[in-house]
Amino acid sequence: MIMPMHALAEANTNIALVKYWGKNDPTLNLPAVPSLSLTLDGLTTRTEVEFAPSLAADVLLLNSAETGGEPLAKVSRHLDRVALALVGTTERPRARVRTVNNFPTAAGLASSASAFAALTVAAAAALTGGAAAAAGEFEFDRGQLAILARQGSGSAARSLFGGLVVLGVGTPGQVHSAQASQLLASSDWPELRLVIGVVSERAKDTSSTLGMNHTAATSPYFAPFVAAAPLDLLTATQAIKARDLTRLGEVAERSALRMHASAMAADPGVIYLRGSTLEGLHAVRALRQRGVAAFFTCDAGPHPKALTTAADADAVAAALAAVPGVQRTLIARPGEGARVLPLSPEPA
């Protein structure tokens, strides 16, 4: 019998509360700072990988559209990386990769975190899982696959795990440094919520990779950002263990603002913040003045985001929805880590 080399996986995206920004080894994609994130339920990438000896080249279907260029090249390089690590060779059959985000890519929420996490797990399952993988029963070592996912995109390492997740700082030259691990499962702090204000206006942003590399190379504020990160990680970790939202939120807010300060001080400055992002920050702080536990964060894009609890999530969403330029809001709970799914799920 020919073993199937075909598997389906899904991964949720994650939002960093202690930000990863900058690499200390760009070749191995090792982060210059430790980071900490919350995996988000419901913002999911589903990816199917089928290795087929009949194919002459890798094929990528991204949200049903055949896609070439750099996205396909990145996928091919990642499949080579997974094959080399797991079966010892890049001489692999070519693959058909179908990937779908269940959140609107046009809204600029597309995330390399969920994409590379799902691709890594699907490729690993297809290469090494045989019939068990096709049945959705493939067991895998999350830490090992996180190291592979990280080489595709740093934040993807964290999406291997659910709940609250730490990604360590890299040691240059050591591919197995910068390990990801779970601090709390999603069920350990189920009241946490992350509210996203989706900003309608969408100028093309500088990618995270370009933005952080340029910041590291030219910003006089990059070194202080790096120096502050270990204490932020420690404080956030203690806050999480104590389920202390205020302490965690304060760290998250300052980590995000320091990341953006370092980017804005690059030469030329990298500016992701827009009017709506800053109005979102002020709206979140105004809520806090009124006793609502809500804390601002944002990433390499314009969308204001807030960390809060289930009890206050609707009020936070309403405040962000009232910000000019915010088109709609999403409320996400803590989500699970990446997983393999059966190829032909039973119809619901």
Contact residues for ligand DP6, defined by CB under 6 A = 16, 19-21, 29, 35, 112, 153-155, 208-209, 299-300
**For residue 193, what are the β-bridge partners?**
308
| CB 46, min distance to ligand DP6, A | 19
| CB 322, min distance to ligand DP6, A | 25
| CB 129, min distance to ligand DP6, A | 26
| CB 27, min distance to ligand DP6, A | 12
Residue 46 in 3-state DSSP?
Answer: strand
Question: How far is it, in rounded angstroms, from Cα 159 to Cα 45?
Answer: 11
Core vs surface per residue 91-101: b (16+ CB within 10 A) or e: ebbbbebbbbb
Sequential DSSP letters for 270-316: -----HHHHHHHHHHHHHHHTT---EEE--SSS--EEEEETTTHHHH
The residue (of 33 and 126) whose beta carbon lies closer to ligand DP6 is: 33
The residue (of 166 and 341) whose beta carbon lies closer to ligand DP6 is: 166
**For residue 90, what are the β-bridge partners?**
none
The residue length of the chain stands at 348
| Residue 270 near residue 217, CB atoms below 8 Å | no
| CB 23, min distance to ligand DP6, A | 7
| CB 302, min distance to ligand DP6, A | 12
- Element containing residue 327 per DSSP (H, E): strand 326-332
The residue (of 101 and 208) whose beta carbon lies closer to ligand DP6 is: 208
The residue (of 153 and 329) whose beta carbon lies closer to ligand DP6 is: 153
| CB 167, min distance to ligand DP6, A | 8
| CB 28, min distance to ligand DP6, A | 11
| CB 164, min distance to ligand DP6, A | 13
| Residue 300 near residue 208, CB atoms below 8 Å | yes
The residue (of 5 and 216) whose beta carbon lies closer to ligand DP6 is: 216
The residue (of 16 and 266) whose beta carbon lies closer to ligand DP6 is: 16
The residue (of 6 and 274) whose beta carbon lies closer to ligand DP6 is: 274
Torsion sign across C-alpha atoms 52, 57, 58, 62: negative
Query: β-strand 59-62 against 95-101: which pairing, if any?
Result: parallel
Output the six-digit token pair for 69: 């260029």
User: What's the Cα-to-Cα distance from 196 to each of 189, 205, 299, 331, rounded to whole Å?
Assistant: 19, 18, 11, 6
Nearest alpha carbon to residue 6 among 338, 347, 344: 344
| Three-state secondary structure of 91-119 | CCCCEEEEEEECCCHHHCCCCHHHHHHHH
The residue (of 16 and 323) whose beta carbon lies closer to ligand DP6 is: 16
Tell me phi and psi for residue 301, to 5 degrees. Answer: -170, 180
Q: Which residues contact 259 (CB under 8 A, 6 or more apart)?
A: 19, 21, 225
The residue (of 6 and 142) whose beta carbon lies closer to ligand DP6 is: 142
